[in-house]
Amino acid sequence: MKKINSIPRCQAERLDWDYFRKNQFLGSRPLIIEGALKDWSALDKWSSSYFNELYSGRTLSVGHNNRAVYSRLAANKSQSVQRDAIDLECSEAMKRIDSGSSTGTVSYTHLTLPTTPYV
């Protein structure tokens, strides 16, 4: 396993998108982007109670990879990428995410929400 301190780092405000796309993203090389989320309001807003309020009683897909990113990678490399996820009712999904529990190969690092919440 590669040590995290051997992965290159870059401050978000200095990141050159063309360089990143060519050398990191398309080259499948890791890069730690520091400070990218410092002003992201979701860090304060998104919580289990927030999602339970919006999606109570709805089914959410919870898994360990992101379908959109992996679909682009698969298209780029002309290969399929397995997506491991399970569907859970919102309150159960939030409990499992908060507790850090997992089932099999699903480690709950992403959440796919229905496109329209109940409001």
What are the residue boundaries of the structural domains of the chain, listed by start? 7-34, 42-112
Phi, psi of 57 (to 5 degrees): 80, -5
Residue 11 has pLDDT above 90, yes or no: yes
- Enter the pTM of the model: 0.48
d(CA 31, CA 23): 10
State the SS3 of 27-38. Answer: CCCCCEEECCCC
Range 63-82 average pLDDT: 59
Mean per-residue pLDDT of the chain:
76
How many beta carbons lie within 10 A of that of residue 75, not counting itself?
11
